[in-house]
Amino acid sequence: MCGIAGFSGARPIAPDRRQAMLDALARRGPDAHQQVAWDDALRRDGVRACHALLHARLSIIDPRPIADQPMSNDAGDIWLCYNGEVYGWQDDARALEERGARFRTRSDTEFILRAYEAWGLDMLPRLRGMFAFGLLDLRRRKLFLVRDRMGLKPLVYCHRPGEIGFASTVRALLPFLPAERRAFDPQGIDAFLAHRYIPAPRTAFRDIRRLPNGHALEYDLDAGTLRETTYWQPAAEVSDWRSTLDEAIRLRTVADRPVGIFLSGGIDSAVLASRLAALGYTQLRTYTATFPGDPMDEGPDAARTAALLGLPHTEVEIPASIRESFARIVADMDEPFADPSAFPMWHLARAATREVKVALAGDGGDELFAGYKRYRAHLRSAWRRGWVLPYQGGGGAAAPSRWSRLRLELSLPWEDAYGLRFSAFSLAERRQLQPELDVMPAVYWRAPDVRHGAGALDALLAIDMANYLPEYILRKGDLTTMAHGLELRAPLLDHELYRRILAMPARERFTRPAKLALEPLCGACRELGLFRRAKRGFNPPLARWLREDLAERLDTAGERLQSASGGQVSAAGTRDVVARYRSGESRLAERVLQLAVLAESLEQLRA
């Protein structure tokens, strides 16, 4: 797990700019920082660098310096800059050795490099795990950028004819951009207001794009052209998904550094912990975020689960105040991102990394087994697929009515309207906040590359796999953990497991209560009654934060946000939202947090 960056073009990038890119990645990879550079003729040159790969390493497998990156093949004409973890590659490595390959390390980095030497990009189906990488092939004069199937690892890039730059984070890419190319994207800001994050392929900047999950880029060093492809379309495979789940879990315990588990009071992490205990991994420590005295605190349930399974347990009490940590957490989220649970997760990761360098988490269960309530809510209108009404306007922003929201939903294709089920500011509210913005779509979620099955629920799950899961859930997990040099692994998102779950009969996969297919795998879940309990979120004390810790920020949020956004977000509109919240409209709490995050994030990014 690491931070990566690089560029290729005719414009030399000064050493201090390259160092700034590396510095922005430092906490993602605290163990080693390296870079390799070439001049415009592709000669190694550390001064006049027109092409470069930069790497900040968190060493998990084979921590020796020989496994540092960027890593080259024996001839020095293929170079890899890689972030992630690939599992179960040893059999393929032996096949490569039989063909004459000689491995210098025990690292998956070298496996990817030598697999590309042997098979080219046809090696991608052999990569099981999470990855984002830049691979520079000097023989073919190509730069390849690839993001994993599920989107566990991030990759952003900027391209114009003649040059390309890429990085794990927006902030690591900014030093590559000339000042005149650092303009905010009005649509990116509006997308954040609509969704609480900015969905791929947009970012906060007009000239920076986010590579969607399961996609690859091919950049031609000579022509300066860029080609994007979708390299993975999962095919359902009928097989024993339960044994595949155990295999996926076992593979993700392999590490040369200590491994732990993030355990909540919910089903998915409890199933993960239960299978680990059943497989004999009873020495792995569990970590839970707690909010003592809060009725939504999941600490007691998680502690009972750990005790039933015989796993050592640590409760991490989340600080009551975010006054001091707010700016840093906003910075570590890279660009505007306003999920309230990111704040306690950041603190949980900071505590866990003092003892472990790898944490397993239960991300993905709701997307695999349709666990969210919004699926049932949206399926009630599935009868209207392919049928829309003309939109006549959405009512006033101050009090959007239920009827105005319904009219907006009915004006969109049924699949597009699903994006409104997970939304923040309504379309009318966004218009009041941004009175000068002309083009304002109702939602910014992208259509999935492929949909599995013809059913309405299949369509919703595919939309989530293209948007909510990679760009919200997994981005939050990656950024909050890598801010502390902690690798997060998600066994439920193993792509081989996903293929087998796709083949499950609907009556077994989609149950009420949800996820009953997992019940036989988790005795602790049955004993604690988790499958019959109402689903709870990872909820921090948001009202107290807004009333106390962020009060001063909210007092000036309107003026700050109007200035930071170049006038796009109006001070008057912002002040109105804050005033309404303070006058008793508690439903606006998460939207007020959004505005505080947006003001802080844009100010940081503009600096």
Q: What is the pLDDT of residues 312-354, one digit of tens each?
A: 999 999 998 999 999 999 999 999 999 999 999 999 999 999 9
Distant-in-sequence, close-in-space partners of 150: CB < 8 Å, separation ≥ 6: 130, 213, 214, 364, 465, 469, 470, 474, 490, 493, 495, 498
| Of residues 392 and 256, more confidently modeled | 256
Considering only 26-40, 202-216, 384-398, 515-529, which range has the smallest mean pLDDT? 384-398
- Model confidence band, residue 86 (pLDDT cutoffs 50, 70, 90): very high
pLDDT of residue 393: 55
- Distance between CA 339 and CA 478 in Å, rounded? 14
Alpha helices in 380-484 (DSSP H): 402-410, 414-417, 427-433, 456-466, 468, 474-482
Q: How is residue 227 annotated by DSSP?
A: E
* CB distance 594 to 339 below 8 Å: no
What is the arithmetic mean of pLDDT over 354-368?
Answer: 97
- Condensed to tens digits (0 to 9), the pLDDT of residues 147-193 reads 999 999 999 999 998 999 999 999 999 999 999 999 999 999 999 99
Cβ atoms of 6 and 165 closer than 8 Å: yes
pTM of the model: 0.95
Please tell me the predicted confidence (pLDDT) of residue 587: 92
Q: CATH fold of 2-230, please?
A: Glutamine Phosphoribosylpyrophosphate, subunit 1, domain 1 (3.60.20)
Extended strands (E) in 247-398: 259-262, 285-290, 313-317, 358-360
Amino acid in position 51? H
Q: Report how far apart the first and last C-alpha atoms of the chain are (Å, whole number).
A: 28
- pLDDT higher for 537 or 580? 580
User: 585-598 burial string, b = 16+ CB within 10 Å, else e?
Assistant: eeebbbbbbbbbbb
- Residue of 401, 403, 407, 404 lying closest to 389 (CA atoms): 407
Task: Count CA within 13 A, CB hemisphere, residue 74.
Answer: 9
Strand 163-167, strand 2-13: pairing: antiparallel
What are the Cα distances from residue 551, in Å, to 546, 557, 590, 602? 6, 10, 14, 19
pLDDT, mean of residues 23-50: 95
pLDDT confidence of residue 397: 44
Q: How confident is the model over 208-225, as a mean pLDDT?
A: 97
Kindly give, in sequence order, each residue whose CB lies less than 8 Å from that of residue 89, ignoring residues fewer than 6 positions away.
108, 111, 115, 126, 127, 128
Distance CA 577, CA 75 (A): 61
Do the strands 487-489 and 358-360 form a parallel or antiparallel pair, or are they unpaired?
Answer: parallel
DSSP letter (8 states) at residue 549: I
* pLDDT of 392 above 80: no
**Coil, strand or helix: which one is 585?**
coil
Using the CB atoms, write b or e for 253-283: b if 16+ within 10 Å: bbeeeebbbbbbbbbbbbbbbbbbbeeebee
Question: Which residue from 82, 103, 90 is spatially nearest to 34, judged by alpha carbons?
Answer: 82
CA proximity to 168, closest of 22, 328, 327, 326? 22
Q: What is the mean pLDDT of residues 584-589?
A: 94
356-365, 538-547, 556-565, 567-576: range with lowest mean pLDDT: 538-547
- State what percent of residues in the chain have pLDDT above 90: 86
What's the pLDDT tens digit per position in 448-504?
Answer: 987 666 789 999 999 999 999 999 999 999 999 999 999 999 999 999 999 999 999
Cβ atoms of residues 479 and 337 within 8 Å? yes
Is the confidence at residue 209, as pLDDT, over 50?
yes
pLDDT in tens, 406-435: 888 888 999 999 999 887 999 999 999 999
Going from the C-alpha of 140 to that of each of 96, 118, 226, the distances in angstroms are 21, 14, 15
pLDDT band at 586 (very low <50, low <70, confident <90, very high): very high
Percent residues over pLDDT 70 in the chain: 97
Cα gap 191→110, rounded to integer Å: 39
**Beta 313-317 vs 487-489: how paired, if at all?**
unpaired
Phi, psi of 13 (to 5 degrees): -110, 120
Q: Which two three-digit tokens encode residue 454?
A: 């013809």
Angle between helix 474-482 and 342-352 (nearest 10):
40
Burial of 182 (0-12, 13-18, 19+ CB in 10 A): middle
For CA atoms 559, 562, 564, 566, the dihedral sign is negative
**Which whole-number Å values give the CA distances from 392 to 401, 411, 412, 415, 567, in the listed order?**
14, 9, 12, 20, 28
Q: How confident is the model at residue 396 (pLDDT cuts 50, 70, 90)?
A: very low
* Tokens standing for residue 21: 């890119």
If we measure between CA atoms, which residue out of 65, 105, 108, 114 comes closest to residue 90?
108
Q: What is the pLDDT of residue 388?
A: 84
**Portions of the chain given CATH number 3.40.50.620:** 241-368+467-532
List where CATH 3.60.20.10 sits in the chain: 2-230
**How far is the C-alpha of 425 from the C-alpha of 191, rounded, in Å?**
10
- What is the CATH T-level fold of the domain 241-368+467-532, as seen in this structure? Rossmann fold (3.40.50)
Q: What is the predicted pLDDT for the residue at 454?
A: 72
Predicted pLDDT of residue 315: 96
- Model confidence at 539, pLDDT cuts 50, 70, 90, reads confident
> What is the full DSSP assignment across 306-330?
HHHHT--EEEEEPPS--TTTHHHHH
Q: Which residues contact 144 (CB under 8 A, 6 or more apart)?
A: 121, 133, 134, 135, 137, 216, 217, 218, 219
Contacts for 217 with CB less than 8 Å, ≥ 6 apart: 144, 145, 146, 157, 211, 226, 227, 228, 229
Among 569, 586, 25, 518, residue whose Cα is nearest residue 275: 518
Pairing between strand 156-160 and 209-210?
Answer: antiparallel
In this prediction, residue 104 carries a pLDDT of 96
Answer for the pair 25, 54: CB distance below 8 angstroms, yes or no: yes
